[in-house]
A and B are shown apart, each in its own frame.
Chain A
Amino acid sequence: MQRNEDTGLDRIDDLREFVVEELLLGTLDVAPDDDLLTSGLVDSLGIIRLIGYIEEAFQVSIPPEDVVLENFLNLNVIDQYLSRRGG
């Protein structure tokens, strides 16, 4: 799949689609700065699946110690983390 590497928007859209369609099964929508974890949107299995998706879709490997609140609070934060990782 071709992907525009320069715009974070594409990536956030991809992440958002995965979260809404696959994890939330379309029950709720999510904005980029909506808290994914504390508001009960995504459970622990959901996080594992999200990481699996990110690793595959964006070709990065995410070490367990990076899977912390500071990097996974919301879609914007995940996007910034991936940018720092050079994605």
Chain B
Amino acid sequence: MTRSIPSLIQAAADRQGDRLAISRLDAALTYTELAAASTRVAQSLMALGVGRGDRVGLYQPQTLDTLVALHGILLAGAAYVPIDPQQPPARVAAIVKRCDVRVMFSNGIAPPLMGKVLKHAGPLETLIGSTPEGEGFEVVSWSSVLAGLSDRRLARVHGAELAYVIFTSGSTGLPKGIVHTHDSALNYAQAAAELYDLRPEDRVAGIAPLHFDQSTFHLFSVPVAGAAACLVPEAHVRLPASLASCLESDRVSVIYTVPYLLIQLLLRGGLDQVNLERVRWVLFGGEPFPVALLNELMERLPHARFSNVYGPAEVNQCTYFHLPRSCRWDEATVPVGQGWPEAELRIVNEKGDPVMAGEPGELWVSSDTMMQRYWGGAEDAPSVFAVSQDSAGKTVRFYRTGDLFAEDTTGRLWFLGRMDRQVKVRGQRLDLDEVEVILQQHPQVTEAAAFLPEVQDSVGSVAAAVIPVPGSTLDCRVLRRYLAQHLSPAAVPQSIDIRDVFPRTGSGKIDRRALAGAATNATE
């Protein structure tokens, strides 16, 4: 049998069709229902002209319908492009253009917002589910797509075909698309299901939005195990006490999310008022978890195992560290642990040669869970992939993570920081260069610097400083408004300092470290 995500769903439907596949609050789908509904959606997409390898936009909140649409896209041989409904319209349009998205699901997007997107989204021809203001495109209702617009035969999807393109912050000011195939998605899904011992009786919380790579765990590892994904609505995710009660009423057994949300859950979730005894495993990743808070959370959930997982979206996951059960972690930080058996990890110096044990270096990863390429980028750009021999002597591609790593004497891996200016804010990956590039494009800005304040509150956010053109009346509010039109919300600085001069290093560069040290971040 050909290995693909649709064949995985069909296999689960054949094996255990009546079992719960996905739920969201009171709504639910069995595997049989999911397979049948996504087949009709795939047939509709083909009738709308979607062909193999086409990119179809998924610009809507994560509901059961959205996941049916997602599996329908894959079944039609196309790739889904998840787009965060919180992105400014110009950025949504930029992704649509970059990926040549001609058909897009946009159920639940407010018509005025959709109208703004469409002003700039050139290639869009067909919208499914929303009724925007304006003309020049076809609008098809979700109910007709779900009912099936044709009864075409679906061709078999192959593992090497595109499955999805996830966009992330890039240093140039344009979002960067990470391209995964059915093979890389399934290799990850299977390895993760095994590593975290997913079972049919598991109920895995679906917290990560689709544009965030953590979502592939509840999307694809869950059906590998024949388990159930319990989607947590975005509104609940934003209100920790609602998140806690949702996890309780969904009888969730496995949680995978970012430390930021777990900290919100601990501090504001009212955990003493809910019963989360069924949670048996908490996976966290995306950014470091402050140890004091992690210990507190582990005390609150004594029945659960905790694991720190690491891996850029380009490779899904590639290392894990299982925290020892029922005891406090007493080191200053948590290691990222050991490499997956499926992955080959290498810590190298500037020349690409392996460093001595204990020495810091860049992490290179070669794995069958790795992306195929960046969208629109050269497939084997040397800055992205290094071609080298693996331990078996085979010539393979290594993804250059740009993450600084070191291995300690006991073989544990530690994440030390970034080699470039990529940062994590509330679990979201951002590039400070991108914030600077956009700031500098403002006609009244001469120079700009973006940085993370040295003193961070429990929330964390970007800060910036600018030197305006002489005589300008720029203020923080004007600049934040301008940035909000071009950057994802987490990348918009909470404070922007207007200065006459910047502190400089000996070589005349902006001393961003001094700026970060001077800034305090008060959002609360």
Interface string of A34-48 (1 = CB under 8 A from B): 010111101111111
Chain A residues near B240: list those with CB within 8 A. 64, 67
The stretch of A5-13, A23-31, A79-87 that contacts the partner chain = A23-31
Of B238, B480, B483, the contact of A43 (CB 8 Å cutoff): B238
- Check: B499 CB closer than 8 A to any chain A CB: no
Q: Known contacts being A25-B492, A52-B524, A69-B236, is A40 close to B86, with CB within 8 Å?
A: yes
* Contact indicator A44/B237 (Cβ below 8 Å): yes
Bound CA–CA A20/B249 (angstroms): 33
* Contact indicator B85/A40 (Cβ below 8 Å): yes
Find the B residue at minimum CB distance from A43.
B489
- Check: A49 CB closer than 8 A to any chain B CB: yes
- Check: A68 CB closer than 8 A to any chain B CB: yes
Chain B residues near A64: list those with CB within 8 A. 240-241, 267-270
- Check: B481 CB closer than 8 A to any chain A CB: yes
- Check: B523 CB closer than 8 A to any chain A CB: yes
Bound CA–CA A9/B238 (angstroms): 26
The stretch of B107-115, B152-160, B220-228, B512-520 that contacts the partner chain = B107-115
Bound CA–CA A3/B484 (angstroms): 31
* Contact indicator B489/A67 (Cβ below 8 Å): no
Of A26, A39, A48, the contact of B85 (CB 8 Å cutoff): A39
Q: Known contacts being A25-B484, A27-B485, is A45 close to B234, with CB within 8 Å?
A: no
- Check: B88 CB closer than 8 A to any chain A CB: yes
Of B109, B245, B481, the contact of A68 (CB 8 Å cutoff): B245
CB distance from B405 to the nearest CB of A (A): 30
Chain A residues near B481: list those with CB within 8 A. 25-27
* Contact indicator A65/B273 (Cβ below 8 Å): yes
Interface string of B420-434 (1 = CB under 8 A from A): 000000100000000
Chain B residues near A27: list those with CB within 8 A. 88, 481, 484-485
* Contact indicator A38/B61 (Cβ below 8 Å): yes
Bound CA–CA A67/B483 (angstroms): 29
- Check: B367 CB closer than 8 A to any chain A CB: no
CB distance from A84 to the nearest CB of B (A): 17
Tell me which of A21, A26, A43 has the highest count of chain B C-beta atoms within 10 A of its own C-beta.
Answer: A43
Chain A residues near B113: list those with CB within 8 A. 28
* Contact indicator A47/B239 (Cβ below 8 Å): yes
- Check: B23 CB closer than 8 A to any chain A CB: no
Bound CA–CA A26/B484 (angstroms): 9
Q: Known contacts being A28-B113, A68-B245, is A37 close to B238, with CB within 8 Å?
A: yes
- Check: B242 CB closer than 8 A to any chain A CB: yes
- Check: B461 CB closer than 8 A to any chain A CB: yes
Chain A residues near B268: list those with CB within 8 A. 64, 67
* Contact indicator B235/A25 (Cβ below 8 Å): no
CB distance from A69 to the nearest CB of B (A): 5
CB distance from A20 to the nearest CB of B (A): 11
CB distance from B205 to the nearest CB of A (A): 16
Chain A residues near B523: list those with CB within 8 A. 45, 48-49, 52
Interface string of B88-130 (1 = CB under 8 A from A): 1000000000000000000011101100000000000000000
Chain B residues near A45: list those with CB within 8 A. 426, 459, 461, 489-490, 523
Interface string of A62-79 (1 = CB under 8 A from B): 001111110011000000
Chain A residues near B6: list those with CB within 8 A. none
* Contact indicator B426/A68 (Cβ below 8 Å): no
Tell me which of A21, A25, A43 has the highest count of chain B C-beta atoms within 10 A of its own C-beta.
Answer: A25
CB distance from A21 to the nearest CB of B (A): 8
Chain B residues near A43: list those with CB within 8 A. 86, 238, 489-490
CB distance from B165 to the nearest CB of A (A): 20
Bound CA–CA A2/B109 (angstroms): 38
- Check: B453 CB closer than 8 A to any chain A CB: no
Bound CA–CA A21/B478 (angstroms): 11
Chain B residues near A68: list those with CB within 8 A. 239, 241-242, 245
Of A24, A25, A28, the contact of B112 (CB 8 Å cutoff): A28
Interface string of B232-273 (1 = CB under 8 A from A): 011111111110010000000000000011001001111001
CB distance from B273 to the nearest CB of A (A): 6
Chain B residues near A67: list those with CB within 8 A. 239-242, 268
Chain A residues near B245: list those with CB within 8 A. 68
CB distance from A2 to the nearest CB of B (A): 25
Chain A residues near B235: list those with CB within 8 A. 35, 37-38, 69, 73
Chain A residues near B86: list those with CB within 8 A. 40, 43
Chain A residues near B236: list those with CB within 8 A. 69
Chain B residues near A24: list those with CB within 8 A. 484
Interface string of B453-477 (1 = CB under 8 A from A): 0000001010000000000000001
CB distance from B26 to the nearest CB of A (A): 14
Q: Known contacts being A28-B113, A45-B461, is A37 close to B270, with CB within 8 Å?
A: no
Chain A residues near B483: list those with CB within 8 A. 25
Chain A residues near B109: list those with CB within 8 A. 39
* Contact indicator B264/A44 (Cβ below 8 Å): yes
* Contact indicator A65/B270 (Cβ below 8 Å): yes
Bound CA–CA A40/B234 (angstroms): 8
5 cross-chain pairs, A with B, having the tightest CB-CB distances, nearest first: A37-B235, A40-B85, A64-B268, A65-B270, A25-B484
16 contacting pairs across A/B (C-beta < 8 A): A25-B483, A26-B481, A35-B235, A37-B234, A37-B239, A43-B238, A44-B261, A44-B426, A45-B489, A45-B523, A64-B268, A65-B241, A65-B270, A65-B273, A67-B242, A73-B235
Besides A25-B483, A37-B234, A64-B268, 6 other A-B contacts (C-beta < 8 A): A39-B110, A44-B260, A48-B523, A64-B241, A69-B239, A73-B235
